[in-house]
Amino acid sequence: MRRERSITLIDTQSGGDVSRVVTAGIRELPGASVLQQARWLQREGDGLRRLLLSEPYGDPAMSVDLIVPPGHPQAQAGYIIMEAMGYPMYSGSNTLCVATALLESGIIEMTGGEQRIVLESPAGLARITATTADGRVEQVTTQGEPAYVAERGLAVEVPDYGRVGFDLVWSGAYYAMIRAAEHGFELTADEEIALTAFGDAFVRTARPGLRQEHPSLGDVGPLPFVHFMGGVRTGEDGMAHSRSATYVHPGVICRSPTGTGTSARLALLAGDGELGPGDTLETISPRGNRFVGTVLGPTTVGDFPAWDSTITGTARLMARSKLTVDLDDPLVDASDLEGVLSGESADQDVSPTGH
């Protein structure tokens, strides 16, 4: 008897970064909150992440977002974020993609004009304003995790690169914030291979002994991200602009400037008094893609002074598909995959709102 299962996907992109939104084909996961469901999936069902981010089904440069029931009464849907590095608590670009996919697919009804929705990530609530017209989501603004500077003035000696100074900032995950010019980077597309090599060497060196605890989320795992910061300039529009690049360990330079990377940068600038409530920063990735971050105001996370902010960008639907997963295929590691699949066979119709 053939062991085939079906997974329903909406593939999306924001700033060039692909997010695969899983809308059906997965069993309901244990847990009263999205965080509990995410930690169960990481522990018991990581085969789903590996399947959709590895050949022949996917690529490590993609992300996966599994739609799950929310635990918070204000949320209309929950989502678990999966990337090459593991399970981020929050992601700006993934949130833009999930909101767009849910609205354009009708899983959340689109009302037209400016629409507010609330989603639950593993880190908590993301409050979203979507601008819609003619059945399309034109723009999304999301307020997610407050960002705080955890440690300043850190440094490590990286083999072949020498001393690298950085600040450690939380914005949904921990980021090492590195000033690009100090290492000869202009953050252009032709530097992506060099940025990847630098990021890989840096993370492998910096991780041991580096902070992994969050005041309310507990252990959030080893350092996953590096954000290379360009200089800040003021454009003719009066807005601050900065080139940037985000490295995801292992081996990925994001095509977008990333929402959490932008939030982390805002926290540094606001903490230094260079930006204040209402001020904006446009971050520009090596490929020229752009997000706009806006400082909302100060808050706290545990004992840390922190900053609330929003990220504004766009996402686009790329494909709607139903994958056939052959559990007997030697290229499919079913050891911790079969238990999370819903049991729907590949020739059955799967509802896009079911799990």
Cβ atoms of 221 and 174 within 8 Å: the answer is: no
Q: Is residue 151 domain-shared with residue 125, that is, in the same domain? A: no
Number of Cβ atoms within 10 Å of the Cβ of 21 = 26
Q: For residues 66 and 129, state if they share a domain.
A: yes
CA angle 99, 343, 13 (to 5 degrees): 25
Any domain includes 153: yes
Do both 176 and 325 map to the same domain? no
* Shared-domain flag, residues 22 and 54: yes
Catalytic residue among 91, 121, 263, 309: 91
Residue 350 domain-assigned?
no
Look at the chain and report how many structural domains it folds into.
2
Dihedral angle, C-alpha 206, 209, 210, 215, nearest 10 ° = 170
Q: Is residue 349 in some structural domain? A: no
- 321 falls within a domain: yes
pLDDT of amino acid 345? 56
Same domain flag for 304 and 190: yes
Q: Is residue 15 part of a domain?
A: yes
Residues 42, 128 share a domain: yes
For 150-177, what is each residue's pLDDT tens digit? 999 999 999 999 999 999 999 999 999 9
Residues 153 and 295 both lie in one domain: yes
Q: With CA atoms as reference, report the closest residue to 260 among 74, 110, 122, 116.
A: 122
- Yes or no: say if 117 and 99 are a contact pair by the CB < 8 Å rule: yes
Please confirm, yes or no, whether 54 is among the known catalytic residues: no
Examine the domain organization and report whether 226 and 191 are in the same domain: yes
Question: pTM of the predicted model, to two decimals?
Answer: 0.94
Q: What is the average pLDDT value for the chain, to the nearest integer?
A: 94
Domain that holds residue 252: 147-309
Same domain, yes or no, for 192 and 165? yes
Q: What is the pLDDT along the chain (355 residues), one digit of tens a residue?
A: 788 999 999 999 999 999 999 999 999 999 999 999 999 999 999 999 999 999 999 999 999 999 999 999 999 999 999 999 999 999 999 999 999 999 999 999 999 899 999 999 999 999 999 999 999 999 999 998 899 999 999 999 999 999 999 999 999 999 999 999 999 999 999 999 999 999 999 999 999 989 999 999 999 999 999 999 999 999 888 889 999 999 999 999 999 999 999 999 999 999 999 999 999 999 999 999 999 999 999 999 999 999 999 999 999 999 999 999 999 999 999 999 999 999 765 444 333 333 3
- Asked if residues 120 and 32 have their Cβ atoms less than 8 Å apart, the reply is no
- CATH code, domain with 158: 3.10.310.10
Complete DSSP assignment for 173-191: SEEEEEEGGGGT----GGG
- pLDDT value at position 236? 82
Q: Is 355 among the domain residues?
A: no
pLDDT tens, position by position, 92-127: 999 999 999 999 999 999 998 999 999 999 999 999
Same domain, residue pair 130 and 196? no
| pLDDT at position 239 | 86
> Do 91 and 64 belong together in one domain?
yes
The answer to whether residues 181 and 84 belong to one domain is no
β-pairing verdict for 225-234 and 174-179: parallel
